[in-house]
Amino acid sequence: MKRFFVFISAGAVALSLSSCSSRVPERIQYSGTAMGTVIQQTVYTSARDKTVLEDIQKRLQVLEENRLSWRLETSEIYEINSLAGEEEGVLLSEETAEMLERCLEMNERSEGAFDVTMGPVVRLWNLDSWAAGKESGDFIPPDTTALAEALAHTGSSRLYLSGQDGRLYLPEGMALDLGAVGKGIALDEILNYLRENNEITGATISVGGSILTYGEKPDGTSWRVGIINPFDNSGFIGVLSLKGQWCVSTSGDYERYVEAEGIRYHHIIEPSTGYPADSGLSGVTILSRDGFLSDALSTACFILGREKGMRLAEQYGAEALFVEKDGTVTMTEGMKPFYTESQ
Ligand code: FAD
Ligand code: MG
C-alpha cells in the first residue's frame, strides 16, 4: 500500500566512515506501524548498540499517542477536540501551538484549500475505514443535508489561537484532523533524533507516503525514491535521486478511496464543497528539506491543481511534481535535476 519505495543498492559496501568512529557503518532495517500506516526504516550506523530502530519507532508512537491522534484519548489533539466550545479554550504545548500556526498560514496561502478543521467532514465520509475494507455493504456518499451540517462546523478562520496566553479557542462542533500533516511532522521528529546521534551516518525512513532521506550511503551513491504510478500502483513513473537530507511526500487519489457506481471517492476533501477534490490531478509529489512542508504542500497542491499548486510550492521554496489524470507529468524547474523518468 505504499506510494513510495526506497531503493537501497544491494550489497552496498561501506566506503565512507563515520567521522566519530572507526567502525564501518552497518545497515540495519526495521518495519513497524504507526499513524495507521507502515513505517519502514533503513539506517546506517557505526554504533554497537542497535536500539536506534526501536527508539525511532517508539518516538513515532509517542508522537501519535501524546500529540497528534484525533482518535486516541491520550493525545493533545483529542483533548482540543473534546473541549471544543469551552469558553476558556485549551492551553497548548509549545510544539502544538507552533504547528497550528503553520497550519493556519498554509490555510491562508492556499486560499483555504488546506484546512485542518475538516475533521467533521472527514469523519462523515469515513473513507479511511472504507478504503481499508473495515466497512461492509455498499458505500453510499453522505447525503447533502449531513454534508452541509458538517461543513458548517469547519473553517480555519474560525479558530482563535492566542499568541499571548498560548490558548486555542475551537468553536463547538468543530474538530481538528491532522491527517494531512501528521506523517510530515513525524519526519521532522525523526530528523531531530538522527541529528542527535553521531553514529548514524545515513538513513531512509518512510512513514506511509512521506519519506525522509538523511546523510549518505557508505558507497556514496544517491538515495533513490520511486514515485508510484497512480494508474498502476505496482510500477513507478520515475525515481528521485537524492543526496543528504530531504523530505518527499505524495498525495493522490489512488490509495485511500472507495468506488461506488463508477465514481471514485478519495480522502482529500475540497473544503469549499465537502466532496473529494477534483482538480485534474491523480498525484502530487513534493520535495522539501522540511517534513511538515512536504506533507502539508502535497495535500494543498493536490486540491489546488497544477497551476495554483505550482505557485504555492514555489512560495515555500519547495519542489513539486504533478501527475494529471491524463498521465501528463509536469514539475517545477528545481525538481528536474533529481528526477529520472522510468522507461
Ligand atoms: P494526505 O494528502 O497527506 O492527507 C489527506 C488527509 O488529510 C485525509 O485523509 C484527511 O485526514 C485530511 N484532509 C482531507 N482533506 C483535507 C483538507 N482539505 N485540508 C487538510 N486536511 C485534509 N488511518 C487509519 O486508517 N487508522 C488510524 O488509526 C489512523 N491514525 C492516524 C493517526 C495519525 C496521528 C495520523 C497523522 C494519521 C492516521 N491515519 C490513520 C491516517 C490518516 O487518517 C490519513 O488517511 C492519512 O494521514 C493520509 O495521509 P496521506 O499522506 O495519504 O494523504
Ligand atoms: Mg499531506
Kindly report, residue by residue over 92-110, the tens digit of the pLDDT: 999 999 999 999 999 999 9
pLDDT in tens, 210-264: 999 999 999 999 999 999 999 999 999 999 999 999 999 999 999 899 999 999 9
8 Å CB contact between 208 and 4: no
The CA 301 to ligand 2 mean position distance, Å, reads 9
Query: How large is the greatest C-alpha to C-alpha distance in the chain, in angstroms?
Result: 67
Q: Nearest to residue 227, comparing CAs of 298, 297, 178, 316? A: 298
Q: How many CB atoms lie within 10 A of CB 259?
A: 11
CA 289 – CA 319 distance, rounded (Å): 10
Look at residue 158 in the predicted model and tell me its pLDDT.
96
| Whole-number pLDDT of residue 343 | 85
Which residue reads 461492509 in cell numbers? 136
pLDDT of residue 228: 95
CB atoms within 10 A of CB 260: 12
Which residues, judged by CB distance below 6 Å to any ligand atom, belong to the binding site of ligand 1?
Answer: 35-36, 64, 68-69, 71, 114-116, 118, 122, 128, 132, 177-180, 182-183, 208-209, 251, 255-256, 267-269, 271, 295, 298-299, 303
pLDDT at 14 over 70: no
In whole angstroms, what is the distance from residue 170 CA to residue 163 CA? 15
What is the chain's length? 343
- Residue 144's SS3 state is helix
**What is residue 163's predicted lDDT score, i.e. its pLDDT?**
79
Which phi and psi angles does 34 have, rounded to 5°?
Answer: -165, 160
Residue 64, C-alpha cell as written in the block: 501519535
Q: Which ligand is nearest to the CA of 267?
A: 1
Ligand 1 centroid distance, CA of 100 (Å): 16
CA distance 326 to 227: 17
- 57-99 pLDDT, tens per residue? 999 999 999 999 999 999 999 999 999 999 999 999 999 999 9
Question: CA angle, 176 as apex, 173 and 179 as ends, to 5°?
Answer: 140
Q: For residue 148, which amino acid is it?
A: A
| pLDDT score for 209 | 82
Identify the residue whose cell numbers are 537530507: 245
> Within 13 Å of residue 337, how many CA atoms lie on the same side as its CB?
4
3-state secondary structure of 25: coil
Distance set, CA 260 to CA 139, 257, 266, 336 (Å): 6, 10, 11, 37
- Nearest residue CA, atom 23 of ligand 1? 36
Q: Whose CA is nearest to atom 5 of ligand 1?
A: 180
Is residue 18 very low, low, confident or very high in pLDDT (cuts 50, 70, 90)? Answer: very low
Q: Taken in order 69, 74, 77, 82, is the CA torsion positive or negative?
A: positive
Q: What is the pLDDT of residue 15?
A: 23
Which amino acid appears at position 80 of this protein? I
Classify residue 156 by its DSSP letter.
G
- Which amino acid is it at 202? G
- Which ligand lies nearest the alpha carbon of 211? 1
Q: How far is the CA of 251 from the centre of ligand 1 (A)?
A: 10
Q: Give the pLDDT score at 239.
A: 98
Cα 235 to ligand 1 centre (Å)? 23
What distance in angstroms lies between residue 250's CA and the mean position of ligand 2's atoms?
A: 7
pLDDT value, residue 9? 31
Residue nearest to ligand 1 atom 46, measured at CA: 179
Instruction: Read off φ and ψ for residue 161, nearest 5 degrees.
Output: -110, 115
Q: Looking at residue 71, what is its pLDDT? A: 96
Atom number, ligand 1, closest to the C-alpha of residue 68: 34
In whole angstroms, what is the distance from residue 26 CA to residue 225 CA? 21
Q: Which ligand is nearest to the CA of 279?
A: 1
Q: How far is the CA of 197 from the centre of ligand 1 (A)?
A: 30
- Mean pLDDT of the region 180-195: 98
Q: How much is the average pLDDT of 155-159?
A: 97
Average pLDDT, the chain: 92
Structure confidence by residue, pLDDT tens digits, 264-295 = 999 999 999 999 999 999 999 999 999 999 99
pLDDT for residue 22: 58
The residue to mutate among 299, 303, 308, 312, having the most atoms of ligand 1 within 8 angstroms of its beta carbon, is 299
The answer to whether residue 1 scores a pLDDT higher than 50 is: no
Give the list of residues 6+ apart from residue 165 with CB closer than 8 angstroms, or none: 91
Mutate-to-test residue for ligand 1 from 39, 67, 122, 284, highest number of ligand atoms within 8 A of CB: 122
Which residue among 77, 118, 129 is best mutated to probe the pocket of ligand 1, counting the most ligand atoms within 8 A of its Cβ? 118
* Model pLDDT, residue 164: 81
What share of the chain has pLDDT > 70, as a percent?
Answer: 94
* Beta-strand runs (E) in the chain: 4-7, 26-34, 37-45, 90-91, 160-162, 167-169, 200-207, 210-215, 223-229, 232-242, 246-252, 257-260, 263-266, 281-288, 319-324, 329-331, 339-341
Q: Give the mean model confidence (pLDDT) for residues 173-194.
A: 98
Alpha-carbon distance of 120 to 176, in angstroms, equals 8
DSSP calls for 291-320? HHHHHHHHHHHHHH-HHHHHHHHHHTT-EE
